[in-house]
Chains A and B, each alone.
Chain A
Amino acid sequence: MTSTEPKTRITILEVNNIGKSYGAVNALAGISTVVNAGQVTCVLGDNGAGKSTFIKILAGAHTPSEGQLLLDGEPVTFSSPRAALDRGIATVYQDLAVVPLMPVWRNFFLGSELTRGSGPFRRLDVKEMKRITLTELLNMGIDLRDVDQPIGTLSGGERQCVAIARAVYFGARVLILDEPTAALGVKQSGVVLRYIARARDRGLGVVFITHNPHHAFPVGDRFLLLNRGESIGDFEKSKITLGELTSLMAGGAELDSLTHELERELGADSPLVKELEAENQQAE
């Protein structure tokens, strides 16, 4: 698990009071937080809280209606996702930004294809791309013997991991994940959480969006809570417990039932459940 004592960290991205409106709809207002290297900033909130809007601003897909983004201390505006990507901010969206009918290796390099030769003979370096895809996925612990299979044939967790591996390979400094565990079962969620930790340990700043505090708490270093487009808190891990986080999210009464639910699925001896029970006692 992560260390809980506060350390001085290098801040990559700073969000200052940003807001976004879609015409008359105020989707987001007055949001501030930071993303540090080697840390996970979790963004929590219910459906419609503005989580996707928030990360679309970080990712360059939307420009904020108000407020400021600072990258390495400098104010930036991204004109497109490409521009954000070029500055090292990679996003893995809910729909994973994959093309289901295309092979895994073509998806891995989509938009950043390797080529050889020049002029009219400039062509895809198919062999090299297949090799890199295979080894990068192996590094992430996924063994796909056939990177030629359509990515649509992989499981949800595997697809998430391909998307994360892709961002890491292309030199992301900030990795934004939009609800990577939302559609997954408990086991697959665990796998994805492990890759989040792995990316963090490589020194990336991770922005992890979820509506599940039990997924956020074990890997998070900082928690930004959203509700109807407004921030209801931005806490460092040392300042908040899982119980408090859950209370803030949905009311503490639900924690008990969640603990029981997890207990049923993971068994009473599971470290996560033990941890939850401890937090539970703390919260009471």
Chain B
Amino acid sequence: MTTTDIMTIALRPRVERRPIRRVLARPETGAFVAALAVLVFFSIYTNTFLTLPGAGVWLESASTFGIMAVAVALLMIGGEFDLSAGVMTGFTALIVGILTTQFGLNIWVAAVISLIVALAIGALNGYVVMRTGLPSFIVTLGTFFVLAGADLAVTKLLTGQVSIQGMAKVPNYDSIQPLFGSSITIGGGVFYVSVVWWIVVTAIATWVLLRTRAGNWIFAVGGALNSSRQVGVPVMKTKIGLFMTTAGAAWLVGMISLFRTSTVQANTGVGQEFIYIICAVVGGCLLTGGYGSAVGAALGALIYGMVFQGITFAQWDTNWLRTVLGAMLLLAVFLNHWVRRRASGGAQ
């Protein structure tokens, strides 16, 4: 933890007696302001952004990132990173794709097996981090590359291609598809069920963080690991649970992408792990752990989704997409930081 972090947050109580300041001092306030700014900007700059069809597009885009960002935010509050989170979304979808198309397994059974494997890998990530004391950054970087390689090699070996096709022809596909890939059309806008998952995940995460013992332990292990251990917080259980939660969220996102498109590429999710972290940080999480919010991370993902699709709507040269994204995300982080500093009485 840096001195600035402690200063910023330590100065909160002095100002929290004033209600407006109290709101401003919340971790997600910066992200909320930034999201509003992005929304207003693209709504004015393009005609399509603030329409139902437009909203359907950017909400869908934000939803899967949002589910992951919320899980990653919990993990970061708990003081850890998971670089295998991105590739895990492809890995879980590939397991279902291969088990059903190549081995004829029942699709529901395949989905459950995929979940169990994901949770096991998450638990292994956590166990190795806790046992070795190595930074989770390194451990999960290893998992990332192991999974990314296995995804490509196994898919190529079994199908001769780098993607799984023909999922829609698998028996019972229609019985499971609506759960993850269905959509409704409102006023010409297509709204996917993934948006509901996103909201549900955010709501549950917020409840767990603020109103359960587990939430208390998450803040504690990320804020001061040794102190937590000394007062009897089950540190191992909490950390492993967090890695399993991230893996479980990756499974959910894997199922969502699989059943929305009925196909999966072997490199799905690779490179997205940092976007989750960015969303969480934009949402007010400290990189050093012990502080942050699930709602903030969800808002961070919303900003990402809006910028991502807004650029397309604005018909800017998409080659600049990443550059613009990076700049806007940096801006959001600065804004977030600025709001938080203002909230703490304008110190320094």
Q: How far is the CB of A209 from chain B (nearest CB, A)?
A: 15
- When distances are taken between beta carbons in the complex, the residues of chain B under 8 Å from A82 are 232
Report the stretch among B158-166, B169-177, B223-231 that lies at the interface.
B223-231
Contact residue among B17, B226, B228, B290 (Cβ-Cβ distance under 8 Å from A101): B290
Among residues of A, the one whose C-beta sits closest to the C-beta of B231 is: A111
A111 near B9 with CB under 8 A, answer no
B231 near A124 with CB under 8 A, answer no
* A to B contact number (C-beta, < 8 Å): 92
Report the stretch among A144-152, A221-229, A234-242 that lies at the interface.
A144-152
Bound-state CA distance A152–B219 (Å) is 14
B230 near A99 with CB under 8 A, answer no
Report the stretch among B208-216, B243-251, B267-275, B277-285 that lies at the interface.
B208-216
- When distances are taken between beta carbons in the complex, the residues of chain A under 8 Å from B207 are 123
User: Given the interface contacts A101-B291, A150-B9, A152-B10, does A124 sit within 8 Å of B227 by beta carbon?
Assistant: no
CB-defined A-B contacts under 8 Å, sample of 30: A81-B232, A91-B230, A93-B230, A95-B227, A97-B224, A97-B228, A99-B219, A99-B220, A99-B223, A99-B227, A100-B10, A101-B9, A102-B219, A106-B219, A110-B216, A110-B228, A111-B220, A111-B231, A111-B232, A112-B231, A113-B213, A113-B216, A115-B212, A115-B213, A123-B211, A123-B212, A124-B212, A146-B13, A148-B16, A150-B13
- When distances are taken between beta carbons in the complex, the residues of chain B under 8 Å from A111 are 217, 220, 228, 231-233
A148 near B230 with CB under 8 A, answer no
Bound-state CA distance A152–B233 (Å) is 19
Q: Residue B20 at the A interface, CB < 8 A?
A: no
Q: How far is the CB of A250 from chain B (nearest CB, A)?
A: 30
Q: How far is the CB of B221 from chain A (nearest CB, A)?
A: 9
Q: Residue B6 at the A interface, CB < 8 A?
A: yes
Among residues of B, the one whose C-beta sits closest to the C-beta of A163 is: B231
The 0/1 profile, CB within 8 Å of A marked 1, for residues 64-103 of chain B is 0000000000000000000000000000000000000000
Q: Residue B340 at the A interface, CB < 8 A?
A: no
**Number of A positions contacting B (CB below 8 A):** 31
The 0/1 profile, CB within 8 Å of B marked 1, for residues 126-146 of chain A is 100000000000000000001
A95 near B226 with CB under 8 A, answer yes
- When distances are taken between beta carbons in the complex, the residues of chain B under 8 Å from A91 are 230
For the complex, would chain B's binding face be called helix, strand, loop or mixed by DSSP majority?
A: helix
- When distances are taken between beta carbons in the complex, the residues of chain B under 8 Å from A93 are 227, 230
Ordered nearest first, which 9 A-B pairs have the shortest CB separation? A149-B13, A111-B232, A111-B231, A99-B223, A97-B230, A97-B227, A82-B232, A99-B224, A113-B213
Q: Residue A232 at the B interface, CB < 8 A?
A: no
Bound-state CA distance A98–B227 (Å) is 6
- When distances are taken between beta carbons in the complex, the residues of chain B under 8 Å from A98 are 224, 227
- When distances are taken between beta carbons in the complex, the residues of chain B under 8 Å from A9 are none
Bound-state CA distance A93–B230 (Å) is 8
List CB contacts (< 8 Å) of B227-273 with chain A.
227-233
For the complex, would chain A's binding face be called helix, strand, loop or mixed by DSSP majority?
A: loop
- When distances are taken between beta carbons in the complex, the residues of chain B under 8 Å from A101 are 1, 6, 9, 219, 223, 290-291
Among residues of B, the one whose C-beta sits closest to the C-beta of A98 is: B227
Q: Residue A262 at the B interface, CB < 8 A?
A: no
The 0/1 profile, CB within 8 Å of B marked 1, for residues 73-111 of chain A is 000000001100100000101011111111000100111
Bound-state CA distance A110–B220 (Å) is 8
**Given A113-B216, A150-B10, A153-B13, 19 more contacts at CB 8 Å?**
A81-B231, A81-B232, A98-B227, A101-B9, A101-B223, A102-B223, A106-B219, A110-B216, A111-B232, A113-B213, A124-B212, A124-B216, A126-B211, A146-B16, A149-B13, A149-B16, A150-B9, A152-B9, A152-B10
List CB contacts (< 8 Å) of B184-227 with chain A.
207, 211-213, 215-217, 219-220, 223-224, 226-227
